[in-house]
């Protein structure tokens, strides 16, 4: 199920609980009036717990998004440095630089696919193995350069190792999403909270409209969390500008 579908389900359930609360208010007005203070205390407690956990989840999701952007910048840095080292040997570096450009193109297709490309959820360690194989091939070719210094060889190996390490971190992060059960529990609190709000508010157009606005706010928070933890699809995506610039530089040189 896509992100919008999951958010729509959260909105429907929260609003249904709010309407159920209104129905309870209409059916048992005296009981609600008698227990009003208790209901307000419980709703305050649940609201506080919900706000704290939701704030932590949003903060964690935003940190995940920033970490992905930082990791991608690290990938670009590693590839750019390898390319700069290879440029020093123009007479013999054509083959490894072609392979390096292919690595960049594969990363662009992998993380920012077109309509027929893979989705980020399909990214696995098999892709890492393919990248590692290509980087090993580049390192193997550079070892045959006649005039290459040992320091240059070590630098290429170091940047290649850093590239693989960052790739591994990205794949591991993509496989470690917010647990579905945690989201169910947190937004279950939201449904209970809107039920209590409905019990306290009673009927009326303005009350229903206010509850609907609250549901939209909660749903938008869920949307934000899911978008930030899926940084290669949807509305909020990490930028591919650094890879595009690197590819242009490698093509022009």
Determine the straight-line distance between the first and last CA of the chain, rounded to whole angstroms.
44
pLDDT at residue 63, rounded to an integer: 92
**pLDDT score, position 117:** 47
Q: What is the pLDDT of residues 176-232, one digit of tens each?
A: 778 888 889 999 999 999 999 999 887 788 889 999 999 999 999 999 998 888 888
Quote the tokens at residue 178: 């917010």
* The pLDDT of residue 132 is above 80: yes
Mapping DSSP to helix (H, G, I), strand (E, B) and coil, where does residue 55 land?
helix
Residue 118 has pLDDT above 50, yes or no: no
DSSP codes joined into one string, 23-58: HHHHH-HHHHHHTHHHHHHHHHHHHHHHHHHHHHHH
For 236, other C-beta atoms within 10 Å of its C-beta total: 16
pLDDT at 69 over 80: yes
pLDDT digits (tens, 9 = 90+) for 76-101: 999 999 999 998 888 888 899 999 99
pLDDT at 19: 93
The pLDDT confidence band at residue 30, using thresholds 50, 70 and 90, is: confident
pLDDT given at position 75: 92
Confidence of residue 253 (pLDDT cuts 50, 70, 90): low
Confidence class of residue 122 from pLDDT cuts 50, 70 and 90? low
C-alpha 132/C-alpha 141 separation (Å) is 14
Cβ atoms within 10 Å of 238's Cβ, excluding its own: 19
- % of the chain surpassing 90 pLDDT: 49
The pLDDT confidence band at residue 115, using thresholds 50, 70 and 90, is very low
Q: What is the pLDDT of residue 1?
A: 62
Confidence (pTM): 0.80
Cα dist from 118 to 85, 115, 163, whole Å:
32, 8, 21
Q: According to the model, what pLDDT value does residue 126 have?
A: 81
Query: 50 pLDDT band (50/70/90 cuts)?
Result: very high
* Token pair 């409905």 in the structure block, residue: 198
């Amino acid at each position: 199920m896509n992100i919008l579908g999951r958010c729509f389900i959260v909105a429907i359930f929260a609003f249904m609980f709010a309407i159920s609360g209104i129905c309870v208010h209409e059916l048992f007005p005296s009981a609600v009036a008698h227990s009003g203070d208790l209901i307000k205390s419980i709703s305050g407690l649940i609201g506080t717990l919900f706000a704290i956990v939701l704030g932590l989840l949003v903060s964690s999701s935003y940190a995940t998004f920033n970490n992905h952007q930082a990791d991608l910048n690290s990938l670009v840095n590693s590839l750019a440095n390898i390319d700069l080292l290879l440029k020093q040997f123009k007479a013999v570096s054509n083959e490894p630089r072609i392979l390096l450009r292919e690595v960049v193109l594969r990363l662009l297709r992998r993380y920012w696919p077109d309509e027929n490309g893979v989705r980020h959820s399909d990214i696995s360690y098999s892709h890492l193995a393919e990248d590692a194989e290509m980087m090993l091939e580049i390192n193997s070719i550079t070892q045959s350069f006649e005039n290459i210094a040992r320091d240059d060889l070590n630098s290429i190996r170091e940047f290649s190792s850093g590239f693989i390490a960052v790739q591994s971190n990205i794949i591991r992060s993509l496989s470690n999403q917010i647990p579905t059960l945690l989201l169910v529990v947190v937004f279950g609190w939201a449904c209970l909270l809107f039920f209590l709000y409905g019990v306290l508010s009673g009927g009326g157009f303005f009350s229903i409209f206010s509850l609907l606005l609250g549901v939209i706010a909660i749903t938008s928070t869920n949307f934000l969390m899911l978008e930030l933890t899926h940084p290669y699809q949807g509305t909020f995506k990490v930028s591919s500008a650094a890879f595009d610039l690197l590819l242009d530089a490698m093509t022009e040189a």
